[in-house]
Amino acid sequence: MAGKIIYRGESEMPFSPVSSGDMTWNRTGTWRYIRPKYEDKTPPCNAACPAGLDIPMFIGLVDEGRYAKAWNVIREENPFPGVCGRVCFHPCESHCNRAEYDEAIAINALERFVADQAPPLEPGSPTQERREERIAVVGSGPSGLSCAYHLARMGYGVTVFEALPRPGGILRMGIPSYRLPKDVLDKEIADIQAYGVEIKTNARLGGDLSFKDMEEYDAIFLATGAHVSRKLNMPGEDLEGVGSGLDLLRDINLGKAVRIGKRVAVIGGGNTAMDAARAVLRLGGTPLVLYRRSRDEMPAFDEEVSEALEEGIEIRYLVGPTKVIGNNGRVAQLECIEMELGAEDETGRRRPVPIPHSNFSIEVDSVVVAVGEEPDLTFLPEDIRIQAGMVSTDKGARTSRKDVFAGGDMAHVDRTVAHAIGFGKHAAISIDCLIQGRNVKGVLPGIQVGEGGTLSMAKYLSEVARRRSQHVVTFDELNLDYFGHAERNERPKSPAPERVGDFREVSAGLPEQDASREAARCFSCGVCNGCENCYVFCPDLSVITDGGMVKYRINYDYCKGCGICIAECPRNALSVEKEAK
C-alpha cells in the first residue's frame, strides 16, 4: 500500500490527474454511518410451503441448468418432488410476489420438471454415518415416509410398518394414477429406501403387530392417516351399491374389478369426491356430483374442480341427499333435497339449510359417499391422549407418551400431502432432539421459515442456512426496475375428450425450454442469486466477489455506506444497519 504522495513540482507529476499509487491508504470506510450487509430473507413461497421447500434456491439452479443439484435442494426438505410436483395444492404460487406483477411462477410445474430430470438413486449410495438408535414409523403415507427419510438421513435406523401390501398410504390408495402415476411414486419410495429405510408391508398395528412390539425402538412415529370414511347416517346407506369414495379409489388403485353401473351419484365437494367422480368417468360411468353448498365453499382444490368440469362432469350445487331407495336390496334411487345457504358455521363457510318440500329423486346405479374421512385410533393404547377425534400432540409433535410422536392426517386438520410431509419432518426433528437431549421447543424458533409454522431441515442441520432472516419479503420491497414482464409457462395437458378414456396422466411435464424460461421469471425474493447488481453499482469497488459459497462480501475498509447496493438489489437480499460509533 502506497502512502500519501507529495509532489514538489510539475516535473514529478503525471500528465493527467490520475494517482501515481493506489488509494488504498485512504480508508473511506471511516466515513460510513450506515452499514449495508448481505442478509438473505425469507421468500413468501418458502414461508407458504408446508413442506418448507427452498423454492428460489431450486429454481435458481433450474435457471442455471443444474437439475441434479436442484433435485437435491428439494430433497433437503422433501423426498417427494415428483409426487408434490403433481398433486400439491401449491400455496407457494398463491403467495408468489410475481402474481402482483404479472403471473405467479409455475413453481409446481418446475418442481415436477426437476423430479423428471432426477437421476436414479442407487441403494446405499448415501454415505451418512449410521447411529445406533432405531426408530419405528407406523404408516407409509407421505408423513410417515417423510419422517423416516429425514431420520435415515440423520443416520438413524428406521423401520416403517405398513398395514397394506404396498407402501405409499394415501398417495398410492387415494390418488388416481391420472394425477399421480404409480411409477413416479415407486421411484421416490425406492429413493427413500436407498437411504436404508426398511419398509415392512402387511404389518398392521393392532393386528399382527401390537403396540408392545414397538417398545424396543427408541422412538415411535405414528402416521396412520385418516381413512375411515364418514357416513351420512341416512336411510338406505347400507344397501348394495352404496360405498365410500376412498374405498372406490383404493379398489381401483389396487387393480380390483369395480362394478358401479352407469349412473353414479357422487356425494361431496372435496378432493376425494372429485377424484371419485373422475375415476367413475374413466370407468365408463356417468358421474353426477351432488354438493350441498355452492362452488365457493367447495373444499376441493380449484384445479381439480376445473379439470372435472373440463371433462364434462356435472356438479349440482345446493343439493343434499336424504335417503337411498333400494330395489331388491340394491340401490335404485337417491332422494335429495334442495338447500340454501344460511349463517356461517364454525369453519367460516355458510351452512346449508334444507328448503322444505323441495325433495326430489334421481335414478342411480350406485352412490359414492365422499364427505370426509376420520382417523382410525382404535389401536392406540389408552394413555395416548385423543382430542377431537385426533391424536393430541404438543409443539414438538409428541403425544402424551414421551417417546411416541404423531403427525399427518391422524393428528391434524390440515390434510394435504405437503402438510403431511412437513409434519413428518417436524417429527423427525423432534425425535432427533429427544435422542440428542436437546430441547425441541428451544430449537424450533430458529429453524422456522416465516411465521406460519413451516420448518427448514436445512436450517436445522446447518448454521449457514439459519442466517437467512425470517422476514418475509413483500412485493413492495422489490426493485422492479430490473424485471421485464414475461408470460407464465404452463405445463401441457391432454385435451379433455382424450383423457377420459383411461387413467393415463393428464398433465405432461414442462419442456426444458419452457422450464428454463419459467425459472428465469423468478424474482428470487430475498435470496441473493448472484445477479451482480451490487457488484456493478458499488461506486467504491467495495463489493467483493471471490466465487466462493458466499456470493458477495463487503469490504468495510472502503465502503462509504452510500446504500446504492441496497437500492439496486432487485430482491431485497441486502439490509442496512446503523453504524456503531
Partner 1 sequence: MKKVVSGNKAVAYGVMLSRVEVISAYPITPQTTIVEELSRFCAEGEMEAKFIKVESEHSAMASIIASSVTGSRSFTATSSHGLALMHEMLHWAAGARLPIVLVNVNRALGPGWNIWTDQTDSLSQRDTGWIQLYCEDNQEVLDTIIQAFRIAETVNLPVMVVLDAFFLSHTSEVVEIPDQEEVDRFLPRFEPQYPLNPEEPRAYYGMVPPDYYMEFRYKMQKAMEETAGVARRVDEEFSGQFGRTHGLVEPYRCEDADAVMVTSGTVTSTSRVVIERLREDGINVGLLKVKMFRPFPMKEIKGVLKGIEKVGVIDRNISFGHGGIFAQEIRSTFCNEDERPTVFGFVMGLGGRDVTPEAIEEAISYTLENPRPKEEVIWIGLKR
Q: What residues line the site for partner 1 (CB under 8 A)?
A: 7, 9-10, 13-24, 541
Question: 13 vs 413, which CB is nearer to partner 1?
Answer: 13
Residue positions counted in the chain: 581
Query: Nearest distance from residue 511's CB to partner 1, in Å?
Result: 33
Three-state DSSP string of 499-551: HCCCCCCCECCCCHHHHHHHHHHCCCCCCCCCCCHHHHHCCCCCEECCCCCCC
Are 447 and 461 in contact by the 8 Å Cβ rule? The answer is no
Range 207-222 burial, b when 16+ CB lie within 10 A, else e: eebebeebeebbbbbb
User: 339, 352 in Cβ contact below 8 A?
Assistant: yes
> Strand 157-161 relative to strand 198-200: parallel, antiparallel, unpaired?
parallel
Residue 2: CB minimum distance to partner 1, A: 10
In this structure, are residues 425 and 455 in contact, taking their beta carbons and an 8 Å threshold? yes
Q: Quick one: 28 or 286, whose CB is closer to partner 1?
A: 28
Q: Compute the half-sphere exposure of residue 306: CA atoms within 13 Å on the CB side of its CA.
A: 6
Shortest reach from residue 33's CB to partner 1, in Å: 21
Asked if residues 424 and 143 have their Cβ atoms less than 8 Å apart, the reply is: yes
Cβ pair 141, 225 in contact under 8 A: yes
| Set of cell numbers at residue 326 | 333400494
Q: How far apart are CA 232 and CA 316, in angstroms?
A: 18
Choice between 31 and 360, CB closer to partner 1: 31
> Please, is 194 exposed, middle or buried when counting C-beta atoms within 10 Å of its C-beta (0-12, 13-18, 19+)?
middle
Q: How far is the CB of 452 from partner 1 (least distance, A)?
A: 45
Segments in 140-244 forming alpha helices (H): 142-153, 170-173, 182-193
Q: How far is the CB of 515 from partner 1 (least distance, A)?
A: 34
Nearer to partner 1, 24 or 359 (CB): 24
CA angle 31, 34, 40 (to 5 degrees): 135
Nearer to partner 1, 89 or 558 (CB): 558
Q: Shortest gap between Cβ of 16 and partner 1 (angstroms)?
A: 4
Minimum distance, C-beta of residue 542 to partner 1, in the bound complex (Å): 12
Which of 8/256 has CB closer to partner 1?
8
Closer Cβ to partner 1, 480 or 541, answer by number: 541
Instruction: For the CB of residue 482, give the shortest distance to partner 1 in the complex, in Å.
Output: 20
**Pick 21 or 123: Cβ nearer partner 1:** 21
Instruction: Annotate 481-504 with DSSP letters as a single string.
Output: GG-------PPPB--HHHHTTS-S
Closer by beta carbon to partner 1, 26 or else 159: 26
Q: Which is nearer to partner 1, 255 or 539 (CB)?
A: 539
Q: How far is the CB of 3 from partner 1 (least distance, A)?
A: 14
Report, in Å, the least distance between residue 24 CB and partner 1.
7
Helix (H), strand (E) at residue 197: none
Backbone torsion region of residue 279, taken as left when φ is above 0, otherwise alpha when ψ lies between -120 and 50, otherwise beta? alpha
CB nearer to partner 1: pick between 244 and 542:
542
Q: Hey, what's the cell of 257? A: 374389478
Q: At its nearest, how many Å lie between partner 1 and the CB of residue 36?
A: 22
**Residue among 22 and 546 whose Cβ is closer to partner 1:** 22
User: Which among 38, 25, 29 has a CA at the least distance from the CA of 560?
Assistant: 29
Grid cell at residue 560: 462509504
Contacts 24+ apart (CB under 8 A), 254-262: 254/173, 258/283, 260/285, 260/365, 260/366, 260/368, 261/285, 261/364, 261/365, 261/366, 262/286, 262/365
Residue number with CB closer to partner 1 (325 or 562): 562
To partner 1, the closest distance from the beta carbon of 32 in angstroms equals 19
Least separation in angstroms between CB 12 and partner 1: 9
Q: What residues does 374 pair with on adjacent strands?
A: 228
| Number of Cβ atoms within 10 Å of the Cβ of 6 | 6
End-to-end Cα spacing for the chain: 26
Q: For partner 1, which is the closer residue by CB, 11 or 233?
A: 11
**At its nearest, how many Å lie between partner 1 and the CB of residue 1?**
11
